[in-house]
Amino acid sequence: MLLLPKIINHLPWGCGYFETVANWPIREGDVYERHCFKDTIYKIPKYYDEFGNEVPERFEPCSFFGLSSYGVVDYELSEYAGIPLAKDRK
């Protein structure tokens, strides 16, 4: 999997960084049976399911609990592809 599911704000589309190339309905097999989200606001991370219920431990796939920006996508794609991060992203 290239990237875990994310909720991205509108900024990258508004700035022209992202472009929507397709849009289709969710089909069977497109959705995980369970979802895990890590909330890093606490010193000891907490994990939640897709309904916002705290779960006792992390399970995969586990993504970030909150709204992301294009910076998160840039960071994760660079890390996946082995591309050095820009100086302002370190």
Answer positive or negative: Cα dihedral of 25, 27, 29, 32: positive
What's the predicted TM-score (pTM) here? 0.60
Radius of gyration of the chain (CA): 15
DSSP 3-state assignment of 38? strand
Residue 1 has pLDDT above 90, yes or no: no
Tell me the three state secondary structure of residue 72.
Answer: helix
Spell out the domain ranges in the chain.
33-82
Say how far apart CA 27 and CA 6 lie, in whole Å: 18
The rounded distance, in Å, linking the Cα atoms of 5 and 26 is 13
pLDDT band at 90 (very low <50, low <70, confident <90, very high): low
- The amino acid present at 47, given as its one-letter code, is Y
